[in-house]
Structure formats: C-alpha cells, structure tokens
Structure 1
Amino acid sequence: MEQQTPRTGQTGSDLPVEAPMKSLSQCKVAILMCTYNGQAYLKEQIDSLIAQTHQNWTLYISDDGSTDGTLALLKNYQELIDSQRIHLFSGPRAGFAENFMSLVRNSNIRADFYAFSDQDDIWFDNKLYRSIRHLEKLPSHLPALYCSRTRLIDEDRKITGFSPAFTKPPEFQNALIQSIAGANTMLLNNAARDLLRKVPDTTTIVAHDWLSYLLITACGGHVIYDLKPTLDYRQHSANVIGANSGLMERLSRVGKLIDGRFRSWSDYNLQTLEAVKNELTSANSQTLQNFRQGRLSPFIQRLRLMKRSGIYRQSVLGNISLIIAIFLNKI
C-alpha cells in the first residue's frame, strides 16, 4: 500500500522538462551510516548491504568515537570489498542526529538517492531496489521521501513483531506533531537532501527522521509510506530509540506528549522550519501560522487555532493524547 502527498499549486504545464530518466540499475545510492561501539551487530548489517539486489551503492560511515572493535571491523571490510565503496569519517560527537546530519551536509558525498542506515539492523535484500522503484519516477526537482514499517527482532534475530501500521495520509499536519517512520527505512532524493542541508548546523535537531518528514511535507514534497517492512529492526539494550510498538512504549510516548517534553521538541522543530520558510506551500504556511499562534494563545483561542491548523496523529490513542496536550498547553 502506498500513499503520497503531492506538491500543491503546480500543474503539468508548470513543470520543467525532466532530463531523460536513468534505468533503475544506474541509480547511484549513497548509504549514510553512523556507528558508535557497534561491533556486536555491525557485521550482519554490512553483510545485508553487500547482499542487496541493487548493487550501485557506496557506503559512507561516520564513527562517533567508538572504543570497541568497530573501526577495525570497518577497515577490514574496506580491504575485503573496495576502499572506494566504503568511506570512513570522524563524527562530531554531538549525538546521533548530528552525526547523521554531518553526512547529509558533506558536500563530497553525491548520488542520485540517499539511504540512512543504522549499525545494528538487517536489511531485506530488496530494500534499495524497492525504495528506488518508488522514487525514481517522481519529478527529480521535487523533494521526495520513501519510508516503511519495520519487522522487529531481538538480539538473537527472533521475530517479535512489527512497528505500528499507519494508515492516515503522511502530510504536514501530521508531521508537525509526529514522526511516522524510522530513518533506517528512508530513501531521499537530491531535492530532499538539499532541503535538509539548509538547516543551520547550530540548530538543535530532535531526530533526523522527523526532520526529514517535517521539511519534505512542509515544502509540498512527496512522501511515500510503505506498509510492507523493508528491514529487521533489532531491539536491544543499547538502542537509542525504541520501536514504539508495544502498549507500554506507546503510553510512554503519550506521556512525553503531555508532560512538557513535547513542547520543547516543537520549539526545536519550529526553529528548523525557519530555514525553509520561503519554500513552504501557501496552505502549509497557513497551517504553520495557526499552529504557532495557537501555542501562544489563551485557552479558547488555542482550541480554535489548533482545530483550524488541522494537526493530527496517526492513532486514536495518539489523538486523545493530542487533545489533552492542547488543553494543557503542552504542545
């Protein structure tokens, strides 16, 4: 099942002439991976990259100061595969989001598409092929993002479930208050990457996957959310962010929406939107204005403006928590 958010305000006659389309096999993918003490599971992940049916990829790895055998393992793979297919960088040591953004901002990395990769997943062998197939026919001048559900596994690769299945449209009204998919499932085109690069490196980023979803929908780009998983997402004690799949995990997220942490996240996200404010569609500019003003308004006016903004979450429980957060002015 695929869902798209088309760019508004443009007709076929307005669109520039596209360059001849490349064949799928010609599409070059830059895989952007961040590592930190990932030796335990990293080999399985890299092996799953090597096994991809789409082989036109280069792996760019930013290591954030690993003290285990991560770097030695990566250098072994450089020798085993090809030093030109695996490039290593030193990360900024400012958290996972900034580490990924350091690769996004790296002007020496150029490709047709960009895939985020965690260090401890296992990609299905057709992950890149499926992702590219969804994006390659879209207009290249418009920002586009593909993402999907994940299959959950434990430390021993036993299947434990799936990430939530979201069925509501992936739109800006949703992106303002929710991130629907993990970065590890995402593929972006160059127009989407260019949007991310406009965010100043002094800006606090909540999460690079949420940032991607937020900016691309804000600027009228295409977002495709695939209900079919593309990888095994390993759950273990060292995960920075969980899968949000079980009831307790979802209740924990609801708690963050109500206890005030979410309001600070909204502050950061609104700051990032300033970097692309001139590229927002007119409808999304109005949505943003209502949302921003509603956060600062007295109770009755706040309810009116938030309703007018059209913001929503993907689940019934999520929307109940959203209403409570609006009542308590925690959004």
Structure 2
Amino acid sequence: MSDIAVLLSAYNGHAFLPAQLNSLAAQAGLGAPLLFWRDDGSTDATPDLLRRFSWPGGTVREAGALPPRQGAARSFLALLSACPEADAYAFCDQDDVWLPEKLSRGLRRLAALPTDRPALYCGRQRLVDEALKPVGLSPLPPRPPAFANALVQNIATGCTVILNPAARRLVNAAGPAPEGSMHDWWCYLLVTGAGGEVLFDAEPQILYRQHGRNAVGAAPSAARRGMAAAKRGPAAFQRIFAAHLEALDRASSLLTPEAAAKVAVLRAARQRGPLARLRALREVGAYRQRFSEDLVLRAWAVLSPG
C-alpha cells in the first residue's frame, strides 16, 4: 500500500505540467508514493506526457473506466473514489510547483491524529505568476477552521489538501459534490460537519501559479478579494449555498447532530424573509474569516431573494 496517493486530474495542461511533475519527483521523505491520474478530455499532449512520466521510488497509474469530461470537481472526486488504498490522499493540480517537503510534512501532521477520525490537512500558498515570479501570499485565516466557517466560505485550497483514509471514506459515502461546488470545499464541509479535524499549515509548501486559466484562482490582497466578491454578487454565492445545504441534508446521517441541526436551521430560513436569514446565520454561528467578509455575507443574506 502506498504511503500517499497523489490524485491528479489533467486538462490541456501540457504547458505547465512538466514543472509540476518535476516537483513531484523531487518530493522528499516518502516511502512508496503513487501518482493516480486521469485526463479529462485534453486536446493537447497532456496524456502522452503523463504516460511517459516515471516517479523515482514511486508508481504512476492511469485511472481507467472513468467517464470523460467530468470537470474539475467531479474528476477529482472520481479519482478519490477509484484510487487504491493508501495512508493518505493528496489532490494535485497540473500547473503548480510543490516544495520538496510538501507531502511528507502533511503526512507527519496527519499521522499524529487518531486514524478513525476524518482529518484534512491544507495550507497557505506562495502565489506566483505564469513564470513562477512571486506575487504574494494567500491569506492566513485569522479564525479557526470549523463547520460554521465551511458553511459560508472555503479555506481549504484543493492543491494543498491531503485527506486521511477516514476522510476519504466519509467523502466517498456522501456521494458527488453538488453542481457548482468544488471538491475542496465539499471535503472541508464534510470533514468539519462530521466532527473531523482540519489542520491548516501556515507555512506555504506550494507555488500556486496564477495564469488567468486557473479553474479557481487566488487574490493576494483583501482589497482584490473584496472586489472579486462584489463583482460576483450575491446570486452566485446563494446558488452554491443552497446546493450545499441540500446536499448536506441528504448526507445528514454522516454529520454530527449539531451540524445536521445547523443545516436544518439554514434551509428553513431560506424560505423566509431577510431578517429570518440573518437570524439563522447568527443562530448557527456562521462566520467568514474577516470582519469585512462577514459584512458582505450579511448584506448578501438581506439582498438575496431567497
């Protein structure tokens, strides 16, 4: 059994993939890692590049018999479901560069926790441009990871996420992420909702490449993040918020009673007026990481038609 399975979903990634694969080959302190990958319908040389890759000391395996053109979230979760058993499971984007201790550091942190409790390791990123020139750091969350945060915000960036086997079983049991969600946010919701542990590493272990074609990017400043949120407006947030609540309700048997109750309160409030939605957010203790973000959340609760 592998000490870690790296799950890579690729799509037209030939331009940046060699640097990511080189950084995988340079990972230190691993025993018998596995790269488990699938191509999501590339029209460039991405599949050939992956089939030629050899991981010194590790194994490379292409996932077979998975439906084509899944999109990022479903593709990653399909890999998580189909992957052989391992001590841990790491999501891997095609366009980043990992620092040498990235995987071993996450493994050590997870190994210190009980094996029967779902756990998710994630962390901060060094933001770089297309040429890997530094442009800043992703924000450091000032408040702790929790279900009350996961309900309204994702702080578990997928390319940093490593799951223990209990978390993998939980995510697989919950079924597919709702339409419009991403695999990392869905994992953050489920692990915290089931009473699991989230370990946020403040020391960046990844160069997170920003090149304008990212499935999900990152803004280095609070002002830019705020402008991006304002541009999106409340409708996009409310759509995914409602989809998450519905999916969590279907998976309520996997949640703690407290988490399931929070979901029920928020779902009921969506059918009522703005004041009821505000009261529900306060009742369940929902919070975003910064005061300004909390203000936006509450404004959206008022402005949303429900």
TM range (shorter): over 0.9
State the partner residue of 1:71: 47
Quote the Cα distance in structure 1 between the aligned partners of 2:278 and 2:243: 22
C-alpha displacement at 1:72, in angstroms? 1.6
Q: Which amino acid aligns with 1:152?
A: L
State the partner residue of 1:86: 60
Q: Which amino acid aligns with 1:66?
A: S
Q: 1:78-117 counterparts in 2 under 5 A?
A: 78=54, 81=56, 85-89=59-63, 92-106=68-82, 108-117=83-92
> CA 1:152/1:264 → structure 2, altered by over 3 Å: closer, same or farther?
same
Q: Which shows bigger deviation, 192-201 or 160-169?
A: 192-201
1:30-62 deviations in whole A, cap 9, x for unaligned?
A: 000010111111111011111111333100111
Quote the Cα distance in structure 1 between the aligned partners of 2:277 and 2:213: 40
Please, what TM-score do these two structures have when normalized by structure 2?
Answer: 0.92
State the partner residue of 1:158: 133
1:179-238 deviations in whole A, cap 9, x for unaligned?
A: 013110011011111111123348425100000100000010001111111100011122
Candidates 168, 179, 183, aligned match of 2:158 = 183
Q: 1:144-223 counterparts in 2 under 5 A?
A: 144-201=119-176, 203-204=178-179, 206-223=181-198
Candidates 290, 300, 318, aligned match of 2:293 = 318
State the partner residue of 2:260: 285
State the partner residue of 1:301: 276
C-alpha displacement at 1:326, in angstroms? 1.6
CA RMSD, Structure 1 to Structure 2 (Å): 2.0
Candidates 229, 243, 249, aligned match of 1:274 = 249
Q: Does 1:142 align with 2:117?
A: yes
Candidates 34, 40, 45, aligned match of 2:20 = 45
8 Å CA contact 2:150–2:188 kept in 1: the answer is: yes
1:265-305 deviations in whole A, cap 9, x for unaligned?
A: 01221232134311322222222222222222223333322
State the partner residue of 1:9: none
Q: Which amino acid aligns with 2:293?
A: G
Please, what TM-score do these two structures have when normalized by structure 1?
Answer: 0.86
Percent identity for Structure 1 against Structure 2? 36
- For structure 2, the residue ranges without an aligned partner over 5 or more in a row are none
